[in-house]
Amino acid sequence: MFCLLQLTEGLKAEYAAHQLQGPTGIWWNQHREALPDSTVVDWNLFREAFKGHFIPPRVIEMKHTEFMQLTQGNKTLKEYLHAFNHLSRYAPEFVSTKSKKIASFKRGLGPKLLKTMGRTKCATFNEFVSDALTQENYNNVYATTKTRKRAFEARAGASQSKALVAGRP
């Protein structure tokens, strides 16, 4: 909305403050009244006050650590991507460029995807994720085919054993 409305730094703060409702609106009114009358509330002051009150530094540290320890594990790639995007805002230094974002995402991939995607040179993060989603799909199709083949071979082997036993005098 800021870009759409082409708001200045001061108007960004006014617009954001106007959106606050309930407890956050009450907090902002009390916070604003406590500031000296001559204080110019720009976007940076508003954002820092809001973050300082609603997102304690310890929470940010915990989320930063959670981001650094994030791995795909048993999650699908989409689930991993969602967690990555959610937590990356707490570690902006690791996602500030396309290459850093790709490297951070790649670091947490599961072994199967990392094996095939580890050396991929994609120009953008979205391209990398798209390629990884395609590869995950290929891996799933292969695993399903392999499982079906094993089940078929097991049934066929059991049928042959029964036939051999039935054929004995």
- Average pLDDT of span 51-80: 94
pLDDT at 166 over 80: no
Measure the CA–CA gap between 26 and 164, rounded to whole angstroms.
Answer: 83
At residue 66 the predicted structure's pLDDT band, cuts being 50, 70 and 90, is very high
The conformation of residue 70, written as its DSSP 8-state character, comes to -
Q: Are 92 and 108 a contacting pair, CB within 8 Å?
A: no
pLDDT in tens, 68-87: 999 999 999 999 999 999 99
Angstrom distance (rounded) from CA 6 to CA 22: 27
Q: What is the mean pLDDT of the chain?
A: 89
Residue 86: what pLDDT?
97
- Residue 95: name the closest of 130, 64, 132 by CA: 64
Report d(CA 69, CA 16) in Å as an integer.
Answer: 33
pLDDT over 90 (residue 163): no
Is the pTM higher than 0.85? The answer reads no
Q: What are phi and psi of 115, to 5 degrees?
A: -60, -45
What pLDDT shows up at residue 148? Answer: 75
Calpha distance 53→159 (Å, rounded): 70
pLDDT in tens, 108-119: 999 999 998 988
- Whether the pLDDT of residue 94 is over 90: the answer is yes
Q: CA 142 → CA 132, 138, 147, 158, distances in Å?
A: 15, 6, 9, 24
Q: Please identify which residue in the block is written with the tokens 């994030």.
A: 70
Please give the average per-residue pLDDT across 150-165, as a whole number: 63
- Those residues with Cβ within 8 angstroms of residue 14's Cβ, 6 or more apart along the chain or in another chain: 41
- Cβ atoms of residues 59 and 42 within 8 Å: no
